[in-house]
Amino acid sequence: MSASRLTKGGRIDRSCRLGFTWDGRSFEGYAGDTLASALMASGETVLGRSFKYHRPRGIMSAGVEESGAIVTLGAGERAEPNTKATMVELYDGLTACGQNAWPNVRSDVGAALGLFGRFFSAGFYYKTFMGLPPFEWGRGTGIWMQYEKLIRKAAGMGEASRSADPDAYDHVHAFCDVLVVGSGPAGLNAALTAARQGKDVILVEQDFDLGGDLLNQSDPVAEAQRRELVAELKAANVRVMTRTTAFGLYDYGTAGLLERVTDHLAVKPAHAPRQRFWTVRAAATVLATGALERTVAFTNNDRPGVMTVAAARAYLNRFGVLPGRNIVLSTNNDSAYVTAAELARAGANVTLVDLRDRVSEVHMVAMKAAGVEVKTGLAPLKALGGKSVAGVVLARPRGKSWAAAETLACDLLLVSAGWSPVVNLVSHRGAKPVWDKDLACFLPAPCADNVVMAGSAAGHWNTGDCAASGIAAAKTAMGESAESPALGGAETPVKPLYEVRLPGKKTKSFVDPQHDVTAADVRLAHQEGFVSVEHLKRYTTLGMATDQGKMGNVIGLALMADALGKEIPEVGTTRFRPPYTPVAIGALAGRNTSSHFKVLRRTPLHDWNLRHGATMTDAGLWHRPWYFARKGETITEAYIREAATVRDTLGICDVSSLGKIAVQGPDASEFLNRVYSNAFAKLAVGKARYGIMLRDDGMVMDDGTTWRLAENDFLLTTTTTNAGKVMVWLEELLQLRWPDLKVHVTSVSDQWAGVSVAGPKARSDIMACLQDPAAVSADNLPFMGVIETRLKGGIKCLIARISFSGELAYEVYVPSDYGEVMMDLLWETAEPMGGCLYGLEALGTLRIEKGHVTGAELDGRVTIDDAGLGKMASARKPFIGSALRQRPDLLRADRPQLVGIFPKDRNQTFNGGALLCKPDEISGFGEGWVTAVTYSPALGHWIGLGYVSGGHTAWQGKAATATDPVRQGDIAVEIVSPHMFDPEGERMHG
Amino acid sequence: MIRIPCPFCGTRDHSEFAHGGDGSVTYPNLDAPMQDWHDAVFQRENICGVQVETWQHVNGCRMWILVERDTMTHEIHSVRPAHAGMAKALGAAS
């Protein structure tokens, strides 16, 4: 291949030179170039190394189907592997390098693998390395894991950066009447037709210029028409999006688009995202996505210098590059003739080889005029040359086989084996492509959605027909009747051609060059019984590379059909799936990264806590205080001090994140009575009650206290994590099951700031903060009492005497905005009393000592009996879950039940998540598991909670082992009652 | 990509809604026998075609709705409030 830039012609701007780096060397191109065209003009031939065999690869196309010039763009954290050089718009300062090669793509040591190519057929690695001697004699598949690493290194694509993506991406939503994909003659006319009728139109084009195939034509009349169409579109307010790929079609006329905003800019503006991910909802969609030219499987059809005819036309007419001097052009259809003449007129010596014996007179006259020699009844059998093509051996059909014919010298071999309409997007909608025997291609099937095909994507081969079909498609999409031109449009019909080979010869002719799948691989798959097209795909990896089989799928299907003795339609085709071309993960994520990945919820006391030394931890979406370390304290020292302080004097803990639901209305008590397992109907005003709610299936859903503020006014609290779930559940019950109940539920979680004040001195602390200290005297506010009163300064507050820590404790709620005032008041008194602030870690310690359950114990798999709360299930009334909690398996005596756990040697600790086993039976799932572990300052050693078969009474006097084979090993433990501290509850009643 | 015409708010993206479950189930009384509850909670048809589902406009008006949806095509045939009283009120208002 001896490509050279022409002195004139093309759409490049020769006055605008752009410098770029390829494999560490400096090059120049022009504005309007792609990376591929600039490299071709610079005489570079080998741009890549193949996936398996490390064969040299050059430019094969000028578009998305590229399987040879696959490069890594950029460097460092912005390195983007597996980019098609044909799709990369050149800019000043662009950096790219070859991949899957060492030291570089031009001289790659890995190419030695090609010498052993016959060993690397489909399924080679699995057959050789998995379970077969001598590699794995009796060793299972373990050793495969070792080989796999080496294989992955040798075979493959480019390497992605391991750093975080430094660029920003946006998500955008849009609506329109008509979405037109593709801006060729069909797309431009479709968009204009719709816009002229006042429709809101979005036109999407993956290229950086509008025109599709019109950009590759040399006819000045066509160019004038293109300019006119583009100008009219803009005047008609069509929203034109270039550098944007419609990568997928989804339900309800939804299209996914990827807009490349700054990829082509030398200086990327700081304010602009790199790419935008568009979700477009269109009432109608016109797909004018064009057609891709196919090649043929023949020996060495992957040599640099073998490319499609359409590619040569694009490089010549659009990029001003004459891709070869001495060109052989092989075809089986009419489309190649224009290109042959254009190449000859540009100064190349062109020989056209047509498989068909007879060609229309028009073409013969044109070829003669252009000085192109035409040979008929021939096809390429073998490309000659190493790192670039040097000639081609031709073959002539003989019966159902072939016979070798003459050899022609050339530096560029162009191949056209017909056209494949791009039916990918409509295939996403489930419309299975239909094989058309006359046109030798898959045509789009009618789609149930309002999606209309136009242009060559619908099977129209001429520019005029494409334009007419675009107009018709737009009308159809708008619900008008319209007639499209007849399909096809060739003077002489195409003569299908998929493979050329001599019988019995084993050679490398590639079907899917990107994954190095050869014709022999397809036949081998058939031989080994992989006859379904879906199995063929997975066994050979045909069509599974980044181009999704744009180049090779049809050839592969034809070869399989041939091997089966069937027709192509009987073999069928695999379904295309989004995305049409690769989409960066960053674009999918958009702005939802790092701290924006999920919502962060802060309690009204968040800043107050931070000011007072809190270290925060995640609790669902919330940040909650974890511990308040004094100077030099570790987390362990801090939480042990905090827990001990609560038992000794008092502690204050932010509990604002608890879910709070106002349950109001005349039937509120009846409603709660049905929702909770225990009785609520007779709860007195001014009283709180701990309640457990079950799911329909009888498992525990959530627990919390509910306060009766007035006859028809309850404040229900939930756990932090289940706040949303419980709200949804109550709404479901009221709207779907019991619409007759007069109850309204309102989430008031954010309306209240809440703290727990716990410890022997809790009452004195609160008294000091109240306008009327007597309101919380032992008589006025007994255990489980609720009052509404006022803090100093007149702030309304709710106080409930409830305890999670097992101490004398109160929960104090004030309107959120007064949260900090409340904290200041409480802390002002508590600090001189020797009180402390405590976080989740100490809260955990206190509740574990008491055997109080949280989400770790109520994990959705436990019954109320398992959790040791069976007494709270009323036998006098039915409630949600009361029927199914009686299922026989849930009543088994040996079900795992809540227990306390002590280490046998009190100096030892054990892990949460460890399995509880009998000491002599450490296997399987064991007898239970550990849910929580803490150091108990009250008991002076480590303790835990867990579930174990039969509960603690069944394990009295029996040894148990907490086993954690991955982290810690086996620890001898004792199973005890979960109520490990103050089992009678004397402290909280005090 | 489904869009659901909420009877209260208008057509909205499905991401505003949460799927509930089978809308054809009539739950038994709380004191009904275990077998009835078993059938209501566990026995479900796996319909390929149109089925009635409960959805909640959870990031919107919080109303529960009954949606007739085709499980094959995602086509939505009808939407109405789950609460009969609400349906009546809507009908009276429109």
Q: What is the pLDDT of residues A297-308, one digit of tens each?
A: 999 999 999 999
DSSP letters of A563-630? Answer: HHT--HHHH--PPP-S-SS---HHHHHTT--GGGSS--EE-TTHHHHHHTTEEEEEETTEEEEEEEPP
Enumerate the β-bridge partners of residue A690.
A705
Q: How many CA atoms lie within 13 A of A916 on its CB side?
A: 32
Is it the case that residue A156 has pLDDT exceeding 70? no
- Phi/psi for A577 (5° steps) reads -130, 155
Distance CA B56, CA A725 (A): 12
Residues from B contacting A (CB-CB < 8 Å) are: 1-3, 18, 20, 27-34, 36-38, 40-42, 54, 56, 58, 62-64, 73-74, 81-86
Closest CA to A512 of A292, A301, A290, A308: A301
Closest CA to A677 of A448, A541, A872: A872
Distance CA A169, CA A244 (A): 14
pLDDT at A754: 98
Distance CA A51, CA A36 (A): 19
Q: Count structural domains, chain B.
A: 1
Distance CA B41, CA B27 (A): 8
Distance CA B28, CA B26 (A): 6
* More confidently predicted of A262 and A110: A262
At residue A43 the predicted structure's pLDDT band, cuts being 50, 70 and 90, is very high
| Residue in the structure block whose two tokens are 């433990």 | A973
Percentage of chain A modeled with pLDDT above 70: 95
CA distance B92 to chain A (A): 18
At residue A838 the predicted structure's pLDDT band, cuts being 50, 70 and 90, is very high
- Rounded to 10 deg, the angle between the A819-830 and A762-769 helix axes is 120
Task: Give the chain B residue nearest A695 (alpha carbons).
Answer: B41
Whether residue B85 and residue A882 make contact (CB cut-off 8 A), yes or no, is no
For the record, the structure tokens of B79 come out as: 């939407």
Task: Give the chain B residue nearest A739 (alpha carbons).
Answer: B83
Is it the case that residue A136 has pLDDT exceeding 70? no
Enumerate the β-bridge partners of residue A617.
A624
Residue A684 DSSP symbol: P
For the record, the structure tokens of A110 come out as: 């890995």
For residue A536, give every residue at least 6 positions away whose Cβ sits within 8 Å of its Cβ, in sequence order, or none: A522, A525, A526, A530, A542, A556, A560
Q: What is the mean pLDDT of residues A164-168?
A: 93
Q: Which CATH superfamily is domain A892-989 in?
A: Aminomethyltransferase beta-barrel domains (2.40.30.110)
ipTM for the whole complex: 0.98
At residue A144 the predicted structure's pLDDT band, cuts being 50, 70 and 90, is low
For the entire predicted model, the pTM comes to 0.89
Which string of b and e fits A942-972 if b means at least 16 CB within 10 Å? bbbbbbbbbbbeebeeeebbbbbeeeeebbe
Residue A735 DSSP symbol: I
pLDDT at A549: 86
Residue A584: count of CB within 10 angstroms of its CB: 16
Which parts of chain B register pLDDT below 70?
Answer: 94
Whether residue A732 and residue B56 make contact (CB cut-off 8 A), yes or no, is yes
Closest CA to A604 of A558, A560, A522, A660: A660
Is it the case that residue A371 has pLDDT exceeding 60? yes
Exposed, middle or buried, A209 (CB in 10 Å: 0-12/13-18/19+)?
Answer: middle
Q: Which helix (H) or strand (E) holds A276?
A: strand A275-287
For the record, the structure tokens of A161 come out as: 């950066």
Q: How many CA atoms lie within 13 A of A177 on its CB side?
A: 20
| Domain residue ranges of chain A, discontinuous segments joined by + | 650-833+853-873, 892-989
pLDDT at A935: 98
Distance CA A127, CA A742 (A): 70
pLDDT at A159: 85
CA distance B9 to chain A (A): 17
Contact list, B89 vs chain A (CB under 8 Å): none
Is it the case that residue A147 has pLDDT exceeding 90? no
Nearest to B41 among A696, A737, A886 (CB): A696
For residue A432, give every residue at least 6 positions away whose Cβ sits within 8 Å of its Cβ, in sequence order, or none: A445, A572, A573, A575
Contact list, A884 vs chain B (CB under 8 Å): 34, 37-38, 41
Q: Of the ranges A2-11, A118-127, A627-636, A839-848, which one carries the lowest mean pLDDT score?
A: A118-127
Whether residue A731 and residue B62 make contact (CB cut-off 8 A), yes or no, is yes
Whether residue B20 and residue A731 make contact (CB cut-off 8 A), yes or no, is no
Q: What is the mean pLDDT of residues A792-813?
A: 97
CB contact at 8 A, A416 and A335: yes
Nearest to B64 among A448, A696, A732 (CB): A732
* More confidently predicted of A507 and A367: A367
Residue A921 DSSP symbol: B
pLDDT at A158: 83
Q: What is the 3-state secondary structure (H, E, C) of A446-477?
A: CCCCCEEECHHHHCECCHHHHHHHHHHHHHHH
Closest CA to A764 of A774, A754, A756: A774
pLDDT at B87: 87
User: Looking at the domain assignment, is residue B65 inside a domain?
Assistant: yes
Closest CA to A877 of A720, A673, A723, A578: A673
Same fold, A650-833+853-873 and A892-989: no
Task: Give the chain A residue nearest B54 (alpha carbons).
Answer: A736
Mean pLDDT for all residues in chain A: 94
Whether residue A250 and residue B1 make contact (CB cut-off 8 A), yes or no, is yes
Closest CA to A254 of A306, A179, A319, A355: A179
3-state secondary structure of A743: coil
Angle at Cα B21 formed by Cα B20 and Cα B27, nearest 5°? Answer: 110
Is it the case that residue A227 has pLDDT exceeding 90? yes
> At B17, which CATH number?
3.30.2270.10
* More confidently predicted of A378 and A571: A378
* More confidently predicted of A569 and B68: B68
Contact list, A252 vs chain B (CB under 8 Å): 1-3, 74
Determine which of A249, A252, A879, A885 to mutate to test the interface with B (most B C-beta atoms within 10 Å): A252
Is it the case that residue A114 has pLDDT exceeding 70? no
Distance CA B12, CA A352 (A): 59
Q: For chains A and B, what is the number of CB pairs under 8 angstroms?
A: 66
Residue A317 DSSP symbol: H
Enumerate the β-bridge partners of residue A90.
none
User: Looking at the domain assignment, is residue B59 inside a domain?
Assistant: yes
For the record, the structure tokens of A195 come out as: 């816009």
Is it the case that residue A137 has pLDDT exceeding 70? no
CB contact at 8 A, A975 and A901: yes
Residues from A contacting B (CB-CB < 8 Å) are: 250-252, 254, 281, 448, 674, 696-697, 728, 731-732, 734-737, 739, 878-880, 882-884, 886-887
3-state secondary structure of A858: coil
Whether residue A880 and residue B73 make contact (CB cut-off 8 A), yes or no, is no
Distance CA A859, CA A854 (A): 9
Distance CA A932, CA A935 (A): 11
Nearest to B2 among A252, A448, A884 (CB): A252
Distance CA A537, CA A159 (A): 24
Contact list, B64 vs chain A (CB under 8 Å): 731-732, 735-736
Whether residue A735 and residue B64 make contact (CB cut-off 8 A), yes or no, is yes
Contact list, A747 vs chain B (CB under 8 Å): none
CA dihedral A634, A637, A638, A641 (to 10 degrees): -170
CB contact at 8 A, A899 and A953: no
Q: What is the pLDDT of residues A192-207, one digit of tens each?
A: 999 999 999 999 999 9
Whether residue A728 and residue B56 make contact (CB cut-off 8 A), yes or no, is yes
- Rounded to 10 deg, the angle between the A519-527 and A553-564 helix axes is 40
Distance CA A947, CA A929 (A): 5
- Rounded to 10 deg, the angle between the A220-235 and A185-196 helix axes is 30
Distance CA B7, CA B12 (A): 10
Closest CA to A303 of A35, A70, A38, A48: A48
Whether residue A880 and residue B36 make contact (CB cut-off 8 A), yes or no, is no
Structural domain containing residue B67: 3-25+38-93
User: Looking at the domain assignment, is residue B31 inside a domain?
Assistant: no
At residue A351 the predicted structure's pLDDT band, cuts being 50, 70 and 90, is very high
Q: What is the mean pLDDT of residues A580-594?
A: 93
Q: Are strands A306-308 and A80-84 parallel, antiparallel or unpaired?
A: unpaired
Determine which of A661, A736, A743, A880 to mutate to test the interface with B (most B C-beta atoms within 10 Å): A736
Please state which CATH class domain A650-833+853-873 belongs to.
alpha beta
pLDDT at A51: 87
For the record, the structure tokens of A142 come out as: 């373990």
Percentage of chain A modeled with pLDDT above 90: 85
Q: What is the pLDDT of residues A49-108, one digit of tens each?
A: 998 889 999 999 999 999 999 999 999 999 999 999 999 999 999 999 999 888 888 888
Q: What is the pLDDT of residues A427-468, one digit of tens each?
A: 999 899 999 999 999 999 998 899 999 999 999 999 999 999
Enumerate the β-bridge partners of residue B2.
none
Whether residue B34 and residue A728 make contact (CB cut-off 8 A), yes or no, is no
Q: Of the ranges A111-115, A802-806, B43-47, which one carries the lowest mean pLDDT score?
A: A111-115
pLDDT at A143: 62
3-state secondary structure of A828: helix
Distance CA B32, CA B37 (A): 7
Is it the case that residue A142 has pLDDT exceeding 70? no
Nearest to B34 among A674, A879, A884 (CB): A884
| Residue in the structure block whose two tokens are 């602390």 | A765
